[in-house]
Amino acid sequence: MRWILYNVLFTIGYVLMAPGFLLRMLRRGGYRPNFRHRFGRYDAATADRLAALRTPHSALRTPHSALRTPHSALRTPHSAFRTPDAPLWIHAVSVGEVGVAVQVMAALRGRDPSLRFVLSTTSSTGWREAAKRVGPADVLLYNPLDFPPCAARALDAIGPRALLLTESEIWPNLIRACGRRGIPVMLVNGRISDRSAPRYRLLRFWFGPVLRQFGLLLAQSDLDRDRLAAAGADAARMVVTGSVKFDAARRDPSGEGRAAAALAGLDMGAGRRVLLGGSTWPGEETILLGIYRRLRERHADLRLVLVPRHFERGDEVAADIAAAGFACVRQSRLDAGAAPPPADGPPPVLLVDTTGDLMGFYAHAAVAFVGKSLAARGAQNMIEPCLCGVPTIVGPHTQNFRPVMADLLAAGAIVQVDGAAQLERRIGELLAQPDACRALGERAAAAVARRRGVVGRCAELILQQMEAHA
């Protein structure tokens, strides 16, 4: 009865959200060519590639031979996952989770080169990032809607050996369908946010049976483990590994080169210091523009680069820049061949309204502010600027990166402020104290380096779980 109610409520919720979802599709683009994936339906070429993933390739067998031992007597109409050559299905909702998934895939493949993967994502931005990083042997899909027929069709087409979900992707119908088919389900880099924890606990009678379908839950922190247990997960199946995102962050040398060229062409290169707002959300750009205007009076060499979290907000952010009295140069137009403004004019604000370029720009920042932490809740990835050795500031709302923030704060590797006034004060202090600014960046890079290695441990635990299940 509870699952009938869940499906009724899910249907109502999806219908109510559909207009906003369709509008976002139109604004971002990229959804339409593969929209059928949402219903577990695939074009002939994709279906053929999925079928090819299940084709035996015995020549690639490796020391994890227990995973590839033939046991045809166990085969059933839905037992493709039991074959030694069936793919692992990894789901990652958007860009950050895609980075985690790709690192886990690489670590697993490094230990067993015969492994093949299906990577699914929810957002078009996640798709674009994944398309750059998946190999030719793997298949990229959109995740199916969590309706029983959609989940069943996707499982029929993929026939996975196991399903790996990242962070907080708990889809009851998909997970329960895997349980009925005997497909092992695992959670990687698991977390439950401050906002979600009370709901999970309150709805334990719903989430408990779903969480107990997981054979392995790899949690980011002790707090996440305790919250999963409070929601009904089996404590014996949980392991605290730390955050995979320390491993997922990677510098982008080619992107850094492109960013350097763009900055040099706008009088933002040598001899200038860049204040960078990364993954900013509505309201945060206006705050940074005001701070920039006032700090420019004391620091004539200061320049501002804004990289909004969603590139489709480009027109909105460009209007904010103009309203603040600055000329705006858009990276998308420079990429299309537009000429930069005259060098003898007032310095413009660079708006990076493209996808996948933020990491390249981080490397050239004198100070970075990480968005969704001041005017919104949750924060974006502060590991990336820290990895580049950039002095990094975040606002008070960093719930999405709780264990990461605990590590960075304990190492004195990041600055957290309580509001816009303190943000301005701390940026000004860093600009006025180059030695302190440089030391903060060095502590940030060292803190990230010390915490790498989580993804390798996760890969070993996943393989052990698969062996045990086989």
**pLDDT tens, residue by residue, 396-443:** 999 889 889 999 999 999 999 999 999 999 999 999 999 999 999 999
Residue with tokens 């957290």: 416
**pLDDT tens, residue by residue, 334-352:** 999 999 888 777 899 999 9
Enter the tokens of residue 422: 């303190």
Enter the tokens of residue 224: 């996440």
Q: Is the pLDDT of residue 82 over 50?
A: no
pTM: 0.77
pLDDT band at 169 (very low <50, low <70, confident <90, very high): confident
- b/e per residue 179-198 (b: at least 16 CB within 10 A): bebebbbbbbbbbbbeeebe
**pLDDT tens, residue by residue, 55-68:** 765 444 444 444 33
Residue with tokens 């309150």: 202
Other C-beta atoms within 10 Å of 418: how many? 10
> What pLDDT was estimated at residue 30?
57
> What pLDDT was estimated at residue 32?
67
Q: How far apart are CA 325 and CA 314, in angstroms?
A: 17
**pLDDT tens, residue by residue, 296-326:** 999 999 999 999 998 889 999 999 999 999 9
For the ranges 3-7, 166-170, 328-332, 456-460, the lowest mean pLDDT is seen at 3-7
User: If you average pLDDT over residues 47-61, what whole number do you get?
Assistant: 71
> What pLDDT was estimated at residue 79?
40
Q: Are strands 214-219 and 185-190 parallel, antiparallel or unpaired?
A: parallel
Residue with tokens 């994936």: 37
For the ranges 53-62, 112-121, 324-333, the lowest mean pLDDT is seen at 53-62
User: If you average pLDDT over residues 250-266, what whole number do you get?
Assistant: 95
Walk me through the domains of the chain, giving residue ranges and CATH numbers: 26-57+76-243+453-469 (3.40.50.11720), 253-450 (3.40.50.2000)
pLDDT band at 287 (very low <50, low <70, confident <90, very high): very high
Residue 110 half-sphere exposure toward CB, CA atoms < 13 A: 12
> What pLDDT was estimated at residue 77?
39
The percentage of residues in the chain with a pLDDT greater than 70, rounded to a whole number, is 90
Could you give the C-alpha distances from 365 to 249, 291, 335, 390, 405, in angstroms and in order? Answer: 17, 16, 20, 7, 20
> What pLDDT was estimated at residue 470?
76
285 tagged catalytic: no
User: Which residue among 97, 169, 384, 424 is the active-site one?
Assistant: 97
| Backbone φ/ψ region at 425: left (φ over 0), alpha (ψ -120 to 50), beta | alpha
